[in-house]
Structure 1
Amino acid sequence: MASDVDTAPLVGRADQLTMLRSALLGELGPGQTAAVFVSGESGVGKSRLLHEAGARLRDAGAVVLTGSCLDIGDASPLHPVLQALRRFDADLTAAQARTSSAVRGLLGMFAEEPATPDGGTLLERVSRGLSLIAEGRPLVLVLDDLQWVDRSTRQLLLYLLAGLGDLQLSVLAAVRAESLQGAHPLRRVLTELRRLRSVRVLDLAPLDRADTDRLAAAIVGAPLTPEAAEQVWQRSGGNPFVVEELARDLRDGRDGLSDTLREIFLTRVDALPQHAHAVVHAVAAGVEPVEHWLLAEVLALPEQELIEAARAAVAHRLIVSADDGYRLRHRLVAEVLEDELLPAERSALHRRYAEALTRAPAELHQARLAHHWRLAGEPGRALPAAMAAAREAERLHGFAEAHRHWSVALRLASTPAGPPTGPVPGDVDRAALLEHAAETAHQCGEHARALSLLAELAGAEETEPSCAVRIRRARYLAAAGRSAPAEAEYQRVLAAPDCTARERATAAAHLAELLLHLGRYADAGRRAREALELAAKVDGSTTEVVLASSALGFSEAFLEDPDAGLAVVRRALEIAERAGRPEDVACAYLHLAELLTGPLNILEEGVVVARRGAERVAELGLGRTYETRLLAIATNGLFRVGQWAEAEKVVAAALRHRPSGADAVELLLARCRLSVGYGDIEASDRDLEAVATMLAGGGAPRHVLPMLILRAGLAMWQGRHDVARQAVQRGLTESRSDDVVLLATLAWHGLRAEAEALASRTVPVDETALRRLRDAVDRVATKSGTAARPVRYVADGFLALCTAELSRLDGRGDPDAWARSALEWDRRNHPYPAAYSRLRQAEALLARRSRNATAAKLLRRAYEMAQGLGAVPLTSEIRTLAGRARVDLEERAQPAGRSATRGQPASDELALLTAREREVLAAVAEGLTNKEIGQRLFISERTIGVHVSHIFDKLQVRTRVQASAILLRTRGE
């Protein structure tokens, strides 16, 4: 099972190659010997490792002789050594005639002497011959497939490793571990050699998951999809040869198992003793791990015979044994063996498993029992076990597993009964199975599947869908990102005369949550109050209270009183945690994190809450849905405060869940925001296209507007100002949200696109578009004036950007407007718009041919901020302007050794502080308390305490007075 060394890349063996070079050359001197025997299962990469090691040893100056043993026993004595000498001679050039003569002399000697090299004369002549070949250089004998070594070569190796005068000799050999069974003669040789300090045995392990993915991707020519990568890993177990075969099948579009792999594994299984053969078949049919007691029940072998059979299967590297039972080393073995048993044999084997599990005195593993009864052809016995397994998975919040079990139960309930199977229980309610399967599909993120099952349920009733079904449908539609039909369904429930009080409360609460996600905060608040009034009349309405309270608190915080609204959302989380229902807890965390990182602009605490909430909901089994949304919120918060590298890690971790529907949209938008900032055009385009496809059936403004904003931002970096204009104008048309911050962001991008078009002279300014943008800015100013203070605070930052962009369009480029914008964003600790504002301020100053020194300082500061973020397009634009203005961006501050002017200290003691920490320190120096600072900066008192602690640590002070003194000293006050 050696890989094709010409085409398959060597992956994951760097450490082993380093060890081999050190062990075989290292500190060896004349007359010293060393040997490394590489052991491992077939296909693990021994031959490839020997090939690569031989090449590297040759490059290091060693003489390398390479040969392979044959599977013909003693019929061809000394074959690998003779082969090695012939190969070496064939590679010699005419200039190496002396070495070639020595090689041919040694070959002639072997032809003349007896086959068994046990005489002293032969030993001396071999020594002299090899010495002549080596010519004072280290000599390495590389032998592959040593498990087939003949007796003569074994004896010669022992002689050589015993010492050959002044010859520095090393042996590198590979041996298949599964072949060294029983009384194999090489076992005794290796046992003896292991006692020598100069001999090592390297057990070559399969590749780990990361290296398996790398190898497969290298062969396919592109990264594998997560599903394909997982399948290759599970089937191969990291065996490089198997990975290569599977990857080539993927690359070439071949389905099924290749004949090469099938025959190789069948040969290995057929070589097993009879009982070991039965063990492998039984483990392949079982649910891993297969416990020893269960295997004994299934095979009915005496204990000692079973142990010996299992030992043989382990020794042949087909199964592995652990404390919890037996597993196949490669799941591929199960595929290979599937067709080797007759259908009756397979059914009987699964029946024995099911009967053994049923007889077990311990608690039954219902999932395994359902699996074996189903494959034994007993749907009537499998169904109750599948249902029990589904309920157990739900209890443990394993919703994906629960959905699989409910789906199995549905199939079993549809299986026709008849001999020899028992009847399917008649009291199973198919509608109940559909309900469970749909709900667990929704909870594990399979929203399309949930809607399909619900449609089947509604069709089965042959009547108008009930209010309960409509509520379910609305929930699933909302999760799938189809907001408009979801809202319509909730409205139908509230208008239906036959709905119960609980159903009305549920519909109103969910509708309030949906309206909140749509950005219609006033409507959400009204619906939330209605839901709370309805819930007060219904016992056990915790879910409705949590949803409505979260929506109401968010609405109040945005439109009226931020402190009161935040308190309401925090109480909703407390209620949800006490009740313990997973979706209630997740929903409360989601709203709290969104409120903190959004309208309230308490970013540091919001990111902490989002990440803590993500961990909590993952524990509750909602990793694919709510965890991904919470991590998307954390990503956006980290992006805004300039921690892009950390944001990248968070979004990458969330994407491993492979979310769908609205969850996927949130995450893709978060990742695209990073890609646009980094200037990764290809990745940005890919994510935007994916989002557009998912929103093709209609999306909420909270998704559509960010998508259009990102499209505009990307188009501007590409110089496609007309595309940016189209995206923004479409956003103005579709904006039906109360979120003035989102509208302000859209307006800024539109004005920037028009200003860029004017500056580049690529397309003329569109006066109609410009008029709409001015109207949008006026709307933002009017609406934010009546919004809560934190919302006004963030909107004011974007309004400052809009005002400054309008000065570019008016042809005057007001540097003071840009200075005010930079200051606004410094106060908010948002480095990206602050750096952009400084770039434009410098540009305006240079256009007026005034204060060039100030412009240079601004460019250096903007450049430092953009580089720190990794914002490649922004950095490039700063460099371009600096180049035209002949500004050295790398110029450093005045050296400490030179005297500083008054008011300009040579060393800035505050250099270690972030912009936000400097802002907090300035407030501390004014004598404000943490609560007062939090009110000024719209940050929670708890977060201010964290900042103060960081300031103390960085400045190495213990009191607020000491920290304030440093600030005043650096100001020269």
Structure 2
Amino acid sequence: MPHAKLWPVETQFVSPVFVGRTEELQALKDALARADAGEPQALLLGGEAGVGKTRLVEEFAQHAVRAGAVVALGGCVEIGADGLPYAPFSTALRALRHELPAELADAAQGQEEDLARLLPELGTTATGRYDDENGIARLFELTARLLERVSADRTVVLALEDLHWADASTRHLLAYLLRTLRTGRLVVLATYRADDIHRRHPLRPLLAELDRLRTVRRIELGRFTRAEVGRQIAGILAAEPDPAQVDAIFERSDGNAFFVEELAVASHEGCAAQLTDTLRDLLLVRVEALPETAQRVARIVAEGGSTVEYRLLAAVAGLPEDDLIEALRAAVNASILTPAPGGDGYRFRHSLVREAVGDDLLPGERSRLNRAYAEALQADPGLVPADVLVMRLASYWYHANDPAKALPAVLDASVAARRRHAHSEQLRLLERAMELWDAVPENVRATLRPVDYTEVYPPCGCDPDTKALSYLDLMAEAAVAGRLCGERERALKITKRALRLLEGEGDPLRAAWFWIQRARLIQAQARGDGWQEIATAQELVRGTPPSEVHAEVLATVASWAMVRSPGPEAMTAAERAVEYARMVGATEIELNARLTLGGLLVEAGEGGTGLAVMKEVREQSLALGVPSVIGRSHINLGSVLVGVGRAEEALDVLQDGLRITRERGLRDSEAWIWANLAEALICLGRWDEAVEAADSARRTGQVAKPRGCAAHCLGTIALARGQLADAARHLADARASYGTHDPMPQNNLPVTRLAIAFAAAEGRLLDARAELTRTLDTGFQPGTQRYAWPVLLDAAVAEADARTLPVAQDGRAETLERLFSAVKTLTTDAPIWHAYDQWTRAELRRAEGETPVDLWSAVVAAFEQLQRPYDLARVRHRLAEALLTTGGEEDRAPAAELLRVAHAVAEHLGARPLADEVTSLAQRARLPLTAEASPRPAADGLGLTTREHDVLRLVSAGRTNRQIAEELFISPKTASVHVSNILAKLGVAGRGEAAAVAHRLGLFTTEDGERVGAG
């Protein structure tokens, strides 16, 4: 087979006949066929140790290769108790690179520095800030994209074995991959030992999470039946077995395929009688039958890890090469050891045997072997691949029980893990270093330098090149690693212990740094807004000279305030952060602080200056390649442009941001950009595209708040389209996504606006007022006008629409007064804010029963300068209403044109409530909405004119002459004349009889769609 080198060579101890597993193998073949058709497949294969998972995978791999697929195998590595970060993915990508070198190079083009964290052969690993929160997500996204591209034209099977040994980073990457794969001819197949997954095993939550994904299929491999055991034995012995022998082996093995092999071979070699009933004896019987030298080599291999390289094994064994070869040959012929894939070393044919041999080692023997491995690697690092050297040394020295040698090795391994964004492993290694710390002699610790092992150096007046590494340095690294890998509870405990150690130490900068970490962790844990911790840090750095920590604290203060309480203090903090960051050369902090400053300037009314600053930061972050600022600059600039009414310009920024963030794997930034794009598209009247963008935000984001923004956008569209049930669901989703632990105006005010509009649409005016009252009682922070204006507008619209309802009268005057007062407090520096101001004032006048044509004309003129077709249609409808109410005959033509255009927009957008309102107004005013429209003919042969037909409809609904006059834009006297004419034509004495005639004839339709008179 062209890809056979990916698979180990089996011996005569394994049945050449593939037994059973018909359904399971067919399921894998079906998945391959679907993948070949362009639908990525994900499968989890579980079963107890020895049940035959690897054999099934091998059989499937051979079928896939024959079908033209490329198969890449990656196995999770166990070295003692330590897994290597991303080991199965690195191995599989290396195999893919060997099989498809050109395709993988093309797929990785431009992202080699990031992807080198998984596959060092691609180039030098990219560098970045120590606390790059996007680093893991970027690596995961780029890996997913790489696999999609590689499998675009060629079916690829990615097989990951022994997931029960997987490190946390591997588990997280696999989960991400299975959640996000959407394209490519790819099959991802992962195996695990089901019997090893105890209640606290770290794989258990991942399996539970993947079970909830409809795209993942889970296959459980059971034991063999007696008939299958018989066929397996026949294959091993190359002869039909005695039925009694089959019965005995089936009973003792209980159908476990590996135990069947061991028992069959033992029985064939005549040692069955010597076996006890213990599993250990069954696994060790053939090991103990080896020559003593071969047994010793097997013990050395057992302690070396899943695979031991030949040269390393030779160095540790210390045997003459001929003796070593003979010992290995004996172990391979006995099917104890087997050459590793690639032929570079040896491993146990089955991990159960390795575990049994390892468990049989004496405590002193185990530590001696680990020391021998460590010393061999230190003497000749080239004995193992460079990318695994530090991890292997860390494990060997640790298990050799030599703290002085283990501490620097463990610290080296933590650095390697950090560079690969394997922060879970970095945290575990740092915790191991802290465990070793007190056992290491002081003179050894004094030789360690933070510059060699850490990226986090909160300045404390010492040169990191000469300063000795401290316990607090390790705690700082561990706190950041815990936050980045999601182990926030552990990180919080570390920061608490660190701050306790710092009490009375006179190191305000380091203490401030830890308080900032606590603030971020508390926010991420939804335990609060983090302000108390940030304020403590700010107080600690007050009066200290410029430093990176000081700049970071000020930048954090400014960014916190920007989205919660923007104002002069936030502006000052941002300006000082920029100044201090420049002085100490902290470029990333400076860029982030300038971006914050630009947003604050816009909100303060200095739109031109603020936008110029934000655009400059965007260009600089792209030129310098700073991922966190690249994503944030597109998010914030796009959002601010939408907020000041420049949605078309925002669209260009956001679409460019989508391209850049997708190329760079900035998935959470991409989610925010999708959400902001949805908002821009709503403003521009491209609602179907906005729905797609919001759905993309919900699918893409790994954090809650972009999903909340997307839900708000979907709720806004659903409400405008009259889809109240959908609007209610999206409103609930937005509230759940934003939570209550960290209130922000940019989240809370849009949700409040949607809640007010939704309550009004359902006729729940009092609920709408309650929402408004809670917001007005809290007040609007300076700089929040972009979110506050829509709240006041929708509240004013609700009051105006309900002005004639009895429920609206109680408390109405107070509500309108509060709204008028609130309007006066908000700034109108941007054209959109000025337009909202005029619109809100016009609605408040309408709520008082006034319809000022001049004010509505000004509102329409303001919105005609903006690219907001839906808002323009709404205010045109109101201007037409004002013209028809207070104008003369000469105003009917302009009103008709306003209604025609507004109706066309509403129909195009699917805004059914607005379309119905416009239609109703046009009908009442006897105005055509289209050029083809014509007056309705006299009703039902009764001799009624079109106007009399309208009046009869209102009479039937119980309206008084004054109410009829208001709805039809006629005088009460004219309404009375129409009523008299109707009574005469119908030959009835009063309004009640006229309504009865209309009811009997079924002339009109009720609000629920039934014809009056239908029953």
* SS of aligned partner of 1:365: helix
CA distance 1:41–1:449, shift in 2 (3 Å): farther
Query: Is 1:805 matched up with 2:843?
Result: yes
Partners of 2:342 and 2:728 lie apart in 1 by 47
* SS of aligned partner of 2:386: coil
Give the counterpart letter for 1:811 in structure 2: G
Query: Is 1:363 matched up with 2:386?
Result: yes
Query: Is 1:865 matched up with 2:884?
Result: no
2:867 matched to which residue of 1?
A: 829
**Contact 2:618–2:634 (8 Å) recurs in 1:** yes
The total of aligned residue pairs comes to 663
Q: 2:818 aligns with which of 769, 772, 776?
A: 772
**Contact 1:668–1:691 (8 Å) recurs in 2:** yes
Shift, 1:432, TM fit: 0.9
Shift, 1:777, TM fit: 1.7
Partners of 1:511 and 1:368 lie apart in 2 by 39
Shift, 1:539, TM fit: 3.9
Deviations 1:224-256 (A, max 9, x none): xx989939969993799999x9999959999x9
Give the counterpart letter for 2:908 in structure 1: M
**Contact 1:473–1:489 (8 Å) recurs in 2:** yes
**Contact 1:266–1:336 (8 Å) recurs in 2:** no
* SS of aligned partner of 1:237: strand
**Contact 1:505–1:535 (8 Å) recurs in 2:** yes
1:904-915 mapped onto 2 (5 Å cutoff):
none
Query: Is 1:746 matched up with 2:783?
Result: no
**Contact 2:707–2:734 (8 Å) recurs in 1:** no
2:641 matched to which residue of 1?
A: 596
* SS of aligned partner of 1:525: helix
2:189 matched to which residue of 1?
A: 237
Deviations 1:769-820 (A, max 9, x none): 221111122223xx22xx3xxxx21202322431343244123566886676
1:554 matched to which residue of 2?
A: 599
Query: Is 1:731 matched up with 2:749?
Result: no
**Contact 1:386–1:406 (8 Å) recurs in 2:** no
CA distance 1:415–1:535, shift in 2 (3 Å): closer
Partners of 2:192 and 2:784 lie apart in 1 by 54
Deviations 1:145-193 (A, max 9, x none): xx9xxxxxxxxxxxxxxxxxxxxxxxxxxx9897899xxxxx9xx9xxx
* SS of aligned partner of 2:478: helix
Shift, 1:433, TM fit: 1.5
Shift, 1:578, TM fit: 6.2
**Contact 1:374–1:382 (8 Å) recurs in 2:** yes
Deviations 1:199-219 (A, max 9, x none): x9999999x999x9xxxxxxx
Partners of 2:345 and 2:732 lie apart in 1 by 45
Shift, 1:520, TM fit: 1.9
Give the counterpart letter for 1:603 in structure 2: A
**Contact 1:528–1:549 (8 Å) recurs in 2:** yes
1:511 matched to which residue of 2?
A: 557
1:402 matched to which residue of 2?
A: 423
**Contact 2:604–2:783 (8 Å) recurs in 1:** no
Partners of 2:303 and 2:679 lie apart in 1 by 47
CA distance 1:701–1:377, shift in 2 (3 Å): farther
1:795 matched to which residue of 2?
A: 833
Partners of 2:325 and 2:337 lie apart in 1 by 18
**Contact 2:302–2:358 (8 Å) recurs in 1:** no
Partners of 1:336 and 1:893 lie apart in 2 by 87
Partners of 2:305 and 2:877 lie apart in 1 by 63
1:192-341 mapped onto 2 (5 Å cutoff):
230=175, 237=189, 266-267=256-257, 271=261
Query: Is 1:525 matched up with 2:477?
Result: no
**Contact 1:842–1:856 (8 Å) recurs in 2:** yes
Partners of 1:670 and 1:629 lie apart in 2 by 9
Shift, 1:414, TM fit: 1.6
**Contact 1:676–1:713 (8 Å) recurs in 2:** no
CA distance 1:47–1:732, shift in 2 (3 Å): same
Deviations 1:378-398 (A, max 9, x none): 58466544533443454x5x5
1:8 matched to which residue of 2?
A: none
Deviates more, 1:581-590 or 1:234-243: 234-243
Partners of 1:336 and 1:762 lie apart in 2 by 80
Query: Is 1:468 matched up with 2:520?
Result: no
Shift, 1:745, TM fit: 1.7
**Contact 1:509–1:548 (8 Å) recurs in 2:** yes
Q: 1:669 aligns with which of 705, 709, 713?
A: 709
- Structure 1: which 5+ residue stretches go unaligned? 1-38, 52-146, 148-174, 182-186, 191-199, 213-225, 868-873, 896-973
**Contact 1:728–1:749 (8 Å) recurs in 2:** no
Partners of 2:672 and 2:841 lie apart in 1 by 34
CA distance 1:513–1:180, shift in 2 (3 Å): closer
1:608 matched to which residue of 2?
A: 655
Q: 2:475 aligns with which of 394, 414, 434?
A: 434
Partners of 1:665 and 1:435 lie apart in 2 by 28
Partners of 1:241 and 1:892 lie apart in 2 by 71
CA distance 1:483–1:320, shift in 2 (3 Å): same
Partners of 1:326 and 1:766 lie apart in 2 by 84
Q: 1:699 aligns with which of 730, 743, 768?
A: 743
1:955 matched to which residue of 2?
A: none
TM-score normalised to structure 1 length = 0.53
Partners of 1:704 and 1:448 lie apart in 2 by 27
1:930-945 mapped onto 2 (5 Å cutoff):
none
Q: Relative contact order: is structure 1 or structure 2 higher (C-alpha 8 Å, sep ≥ 6)?
A: 2
Give the counterpart letter for 2:612 in structure 1: A
Give the counterpart letter for 2:257 in structure 1: T
**Contact 1:528–1:552 (8 Å) recurs in 2:** yes
Give the counterpart letter for 2:431 in structure 1: L
Partners of 1:840 and 1:320 lie apart in 2 by 79
Q: 1:540 aligns with which of 585, 588, 601?
A: 585
Shift, 1:435, TM fit: 0.7
Partners of 2:343 and 2:711 lie apart in 1 by 43
**Contact 2:645–2:866 (8 Å) recurs in 1:** no
* SS of aligned partner of 2:867: coil
1:637 matched to which residue of 2?
A: 680
Give the counterpart letter for 1:413 in structure 2: M
Give the counterpart letter for 1:474 in structure 2: I
Partners of 2:870 and 2:344 lie apart in 1 by 54
* SS of aligned partner of 2:849: coil
**Contact 1:490–1:511 (8 Å) recurs in 2:** no
Partners of 2:470 and 2:883 lie apart in 1 by 77
**Contact 2:635–2:654 (8 Å) recurs in 1:** no
CA distance 1:800–1:285, shift in 2 (3 Å): farther
CA RMSD of aligned residues (A): 6.5
Partners of 2:916 and 2:329 lie apart in 1 by 74
Deviates more, 1:425-434 or 1:667-676: 425-434
Give the counterpart letter for 2:472 in structure 1: A
Deviations 1:634-653 (A, max 9, x none): 44334433455555555555
Give the counterpart letter for 1:409 in structure 2: L
Query: Is 1:387 matched up with 2:377?
Result: no
Shift, 1:458, TM fit: 0.7
**Contact 2:595–2:614 (8 Å) recurs in 1:** yes
CA distance 1:805–1:414, shift in 2 (3 Å): same
Give the counterpart letter for 2:752 in structure 1: L
Shift, 1:313, TM fit: 13
